[in-house]
Structures are given as C-alpha cells and as structure tokens.
Amino acid sequence: MKKHIKVRLTADLSRYAPGLVAGVEGYTIGEYGLWSRGSDRFIGVCFPGIATLDVLWKSVEIIDEAYLEEVAFLRKKQMIELKSARNVIMHVGPRGGFRYLSYEYTSMDGAQCSVSNGNKTESEHLIEVLKQYGVEVEVRNER
C-alpha cells in the first residue's frame, strides 16, 4: 500500500477530534494504530493540524490524481493480460462456497505469472471478464 495518498473524509468523525468533518482532506500514512495494523479495512490518515488516526477505507475518498491514474493504468494492463489466461480454476469448498480463484497468464513483458485471488467480489468480476474473452473456468471442489 502506497503511503501519502491524498484523501477526503466522507464521514463526520468530529467525536474523535474537533474538525474531523466530511470534506476535510488529509493523506494516508499506512499502518498507524491498532485498527490499521489489525485489519485491512482501516488505514492510518493524517489530517494536518487536526489529528492522525485510523479511519475506515469506506469513510474516505481517494482524491490523489496521480494515484488514480496509476490504478487505472494497472487495471487496463490487467485486462489486456487476462486475454492470455489459462488453467483458470475457481476453488470451492465441500458445500460449494468460494475459496479462491487461481490462474496463469503471460505478462506484457513476456513473464509467466501465476495468481491466486481470495477476494470473492474481485474474483467474480475477473471470471466475468474471462468468460467474455472465451476463457474456460474450471470449478474444483476441495475438502
């Protein structure tokens, strides 16, 4: 996780420090306190002149243009590389619950890569893209 990403607060957190109202801007500092060290749902954020604290990701909006451009470029690159995906397997538990998605692909620079993704929402999106590209997705039951 890149540090010092400009963010804007979207929630009222004035109960934690005066001035932490929706619209105030700050920047991420990575793992800061107990919550951000223990859960990826939180990130340490410095609000200059106000406070530094752990904030839920859903309570901030990323406004850093350079970071957003980089993310958009990486997503576009990923979609191009997915066209070369093979050995795509959705691993499910004994009762059919999602465990993870694994696949191999060739990167744009020619490297052979293997991926394992345990995020169900992201994996569902990837599967839809792979189906659009005509790539078969095997479902494998595991114990």
Q: Give the domain CATH number at 94.
A: 3.30.720
Q: Note down the domain range covering 126.
A: 76-141
Verify that 59 and 11 share a domain, yes or no: yes
- With respect to residue 71, please indicate whether it lies within any of the assigned structural domains: no
Q: What is the pLDDT of residue 143?
A: 77
Verify that 137 and 80 share a domain, yes or no: yes
- With respect to residue 80, please indicate whether it lies within any of the assigned structural domains: yes
pTM tops 0.75, yes or no: no
Q: What is the pLDDT of residue 3?
A: 77
Q: What is the pLDDT of residue 116?
A: 94
Verify that 11 and 36 share a domain, yes or no: yes
Q: What is the pLDDT of residue 17?
A: 93
Verify that 57 and 82 share a domain, yes or no: no
Report how far residue 7's alpha carbon sits from residue 135's, in angstroms, rounded to the nearest whole number: 37
Residues in the chain where the model's pLDDT stays below 70: 1-2
135: helix, strand or coil: coil
- Count of domains forming the chain: 2
Verify that 81 and 59 share a domain, yes or no: no
Is residue 94 within 8 A of residue 84, CB to CB? The reply is no
Is residue 86 within 8 A of residue 102, CB to CB? The reply is no
User: Residue 46 is part of a domain; what is its CATH number?
Assistant: 2.30.30
140 by Cβ neighbours in 10 Å (0-12 / 13-18 / 19+) ranks as: exposed
- Tens of pLDDT, residue by residue over 31-61, are 998 988 998 899 999 999 999 999 999 999 9
Verify that 91 and 130 share a domain, yes or no: yes
Verify that 93 and 42 share a domain, yes or no: no
Q: Residue 90: count other Cβ atoms within 10 Å of its Cβ.
A: 20
Verify that 53 and 103 share a domain, yes or no: no
**Domain termination site, one of 26, 42, 66:** 66
Residue type, 45: V
- With respect to residue 105, please indicate whether it lies within any of the assigned structural domains: yes
Verify that 89 and 44 share a domain, yes or no: no
Report how far residue 34's alpha carbon sits from residue 12's, in angstroms, rounded to the nearest whole number: 21
- With respect to residue 1, please indicate whether it lies within any of the assigned structural domains: no
